[in-house]
Structure 1
Amino acid sequence: MVLEKFGSFDAFALRDVPVGSVGPRQVRVRIHATAINPLDYQIRRGDYTDYVPLPAIIGHDISGVVEEKGSDVSEFEIGDEVYYTPKIFGGPGSYAEQHIADVELVARKPRNISHLEAASLTLVGGTVWEALVSRAQLSVEETILIHGGAGGVGTVAIQVAKAMGARVITTARQSNHDFVRSLGADEVIDHTANDYVSTVAELTDGQGVNVVFDTIGGDTLTRSPLTLADSGRVVSIVDLAQPQNLIEAWGKNAAYHFVFTRQNRGKLDALTTLVERGLVKPVIGAVLPLARIGEAHELLEAGGLRGKVAIDVVGQTVELPKPR
């Protein structure tokens, strides 16, 4: 599915495109599944025109099977099941039947989940790992506030934080409270009915949280320091659309981390361990075929869905669910 113009959901067209040749340290993968991310619809609507020359194949999640390998590749064999995130702004993406990748990006797919589930984990899983492990350095018995626990990133963040031994507080609509608790959340705040700052103070006896993970933007960077313990950390994966007043962060000696995910096999191998031990399970809110990429973008951009929108590349038409 080729992005031929920046704009609305009709910007994609089904085209036959040459695959290209495989380099010495590359593999060619038959894509079985991909998934949709906010980064994808941001690219489609024109937020990154300087980085994406048109026409372009975009997409940032792949699960599939190795069909060809370069002369210097020893890590994988033909037929191996793999998953990975293509290099962001670095060439063709995942909205296709085949993809050529540098072998350093590629990891073995977890054995206990499907291609659809694996494709729903690569970008969000790598993002969560970088945010909570590499940047925030979340520790056992610390408390974390996760904004947007029912979303594609939030569902994985809750599970990873619990696997790390943290106490998890998250925000979600009332209709999603039982769902996010089933993922491991200890406390849930209905952000549509309650002020999360005062609620966190009550839940922590005024001590605050050690880490805030922002997946939603808005005024969260300004208000989140009000929930922090001294020397707390705020990690955000959201673009800064406007200046933020961070005076409260200064008073808490807070550290801020802005995460644009770096792709590598190591993070995915660590996630694979958690998945195969049953500690992390990808959450899929909808499945569509590749030819309906535009509808998939529309569904995700509308919001209200639990987990990821996955794309069955080898397959079947699945009806859209009603957003929650």
Structure 2
Amino acid sequence: MSDRATRPSAETAPPSMRAVVQHRLGGPEVLEMAELDRPVAGPGEVLVRIAAAGVNPLDWKIREGDVPMYGPPPFVLGVDVSGTVEAVGAGVDRFAVGDEVFGMPRLPAPTQAYAEYLTAPAGELVRKPAGMTHPEAAALASSALTAWQALVGIADVQPGQRVLVHAAAGGVGHVAVQVAKARGAYVIGTARAGKHAFLRGLGIDEAVDYSVVDFEDAVRDVDVVFDLIGLDYGARSLDSLRPGGILVSAFLADPGTTVEEAESRGVRFRTIGVAPSGPDLEAIAALAEQGALSVHIAATFALEEAAKAHELGETGRVQGKIVLLP
């Protein structure tokens, strides 16, 4: 048999797409552009042509091997996506070809958003708010789900409660400030002084410069602390809570405290591991449609500049979110 006969013809070869792939763990330099087969939507799934993909700290933690949730390489990073439905699988009546959607599908399995296309369970995506661009929607997805599931799902923030958000100007933090305000809370946030004007623009009630004062001395009697930093911030945050208050930490690796320590001091402690949720996304999209929730984009990069995006993100000084544009 000839070599030509063993190769797929142009007519039978599957369509390809560009994607950012890593074949080994390491720094930003391990991120490489590659040509992959375009995925096909299975039953209950949609194929999405990606218009924008959010960049998150989780991405570089997976890239380095600090969070081995995807297993060994090779794999494609990215959990936030916004784009257009290109095809629908069997049994899908939630969307039609041409619908603009966004979400954080499949996590903790690989979402694979650093690419031109992905497939996703239809129930884990929702329609993009009409007033939002694709980059804004992609930047919003995982940040808003994390904030919503922490402040609404776990803490059940109520009107008039006092809420403290650590790293309030960051990708999740600045969205959490808005979620808490939309729930009617009095919101306090920790951030350097240079970011206080940004936070006031989001409606924050108090901004505390953690580099000048110890936040646990400056902030007392709060009902909810949402911690995005962990380590010593966990135990220190317990001092800011009123009796019966709750600390919710999104820093799973080392939240800095335990349920037992919190209970011994008359408060509660929970961790939040964000999960895909169509209903939560619908509530988030509704807030965005009402103008009560927006996302700040710090920078955008082309898909092939993913390494540069990671380098910027890892400085720890980003205000808002970074987005890749395929």
Structure 1 partner of 2:226: 213
Give the residue type in structure 2 aligned to 1:312: L
CA 1:245–1:25 in structure 2 vs 1: closer, same or farther (change >3 Å)? closer
SS at 1:302 equivalent = coil
Aligned counterparts of 1:50 and 1:78: Cα–Cα separation in 2: 32
Structure 2 partner of 1:171: 190
CA 1:255–1:213 in structure 2 vs 1: closer, same or farther (change >3 Å)? same
Structure 1 partner of 2:266: 253
Give the residue type in structure 2 aligned to 1:259: I
Give the residue type in structure 2 aligned to 1:31: I
Give the residue type in structure 2 aligned to 1:72: G
Q: CA RMSD in A?
A: 1.5
Deviation at 1:50, TM superposition (A): 5.9
**Structure 2 residue runs without a partner (length 5+):** 1-19
1:7-57 superposed Cα distances (whole Å, 9 cap, x missing partner): 011011111111232212000000000011110000001113363331101
Give the residue type in structure 2 aligned to 1:239: L
Structure 2 partner of 1:56: 75
1:227-269 superposed Cα distances (whole Å, 9 cap, x missing partner): 0001000001002338647776234421111111110111111
Give the structure with higher Rg (CA).
Answer: 2
Aligned residues of 2:300 and 2:324 also touching (Cα < 8 A)? yes
Aligned residues of 1:226 and 1:248 also touching (Cα < 8 A)? no
- Is 1:229 matched up with 2:242? yes
SS at 2:219 equivalent = helix
Which of 84, 103, 108 matches 1:89?
Answer: 108
CA 1:242–1:77 in structure 2 vs 1: closer, same or farther (change >3 Å)? closer
Percent of residue pairs bearing the same amino acid type: 37
Structure 2 partner of 1:292: 305
Structure 1 partner of 2:8: none
Structure 1 partner of 2:125: 106
Aligned counterparts of 1:309 and 1:89: Cα–Cα separation in 2: 21
Give the residue type in structure 1 aligned to 2:68: T
Aligned counterparts of 1:119 and 1:91: Cα–Cα separation in 2: 16
| Alignment TM-score, normalising by the size of structure 1 | 0.92
**Structure 1 residue runs without a partner (length 5+):** 202-207, 314-324
- Is 1:24 matched up with 2:37? no
Which of 87, 96, 107 matches 1:68?
Answer: 87
| Alignment TM-score, normalising by the size of structure 2 | 0.91
SS at 2:34 equivalent = coil
Which of 283, 293, 308 matches 2:296?
Answer: 283
Aligned residues of 1:56 and 1:92 also touching (Cα < 8 A)? no
Q: How many residues align?
A: 307
Aligned counterparts of 1:87 and 1:285: Cα–Cα separation in 2: 26
- Is 1:270 matched up with 2:289? no
Aligned residues of 2:62 and 2:70 also touching (Cα < 8 A)? no
Aligned counterparts of 1:120 and 1:180: Cα–Cα separation in 2: 18
Aligned counterparts of 1:36 and 1:214: Cα–Cα separation in 2: 20
Give the residue type in structure 2 aligned to 1:283: H
Deviation at 1:86, TM superposition (A): 2.5
Aligned residues of 1:86 and 1:94 also touching (Cα < 8 A)? no
Aligned counterparts of 1:50 and 1:200: Cα–Cα separation in 2: 36
1:88-147 superposed Cα distances (whole Å, 9 cap, x missing partner): 232451000000011111111111010000000111111111000000111110000100
SS at 1:288 equivalent = strand
Aligned residues of 2:249 and 2:255 also touching (Cα < 8 A)? no
Aligned residues of 2:246 and 2:269 also touching (Cα < 8 A)? yes
Aligned counterparts of 1:48 and 1:158: Cα–Cα separation in 2: 27
Structure 2 partner of 1:119: 138
SS at 2:79 equivalent = coil
Aligned counterparts of 2:141 and 2:69: Cα–Cα separation in 1: 25
Aligned residues of 2:175 and 2:295 also touching (Cα < 8 A)? yes
- Is 1:138 matched up with 2:135? no
- Is 1:10 matched up with 2:29? yes
Give the residue type in structure 2 aligned to 1:282: V
Aligned residues of 1:64 and 1:82 also touching (Cα < 8 A)? yes
Which of 135, 149, 154 matches 2:168?
Answer: 149
Give the residue type in structure 2 aligned to 1:306: Q
CA 1:16–1:155 in structure 2 vs 1: closer, same or farther (change >3 Å)? same
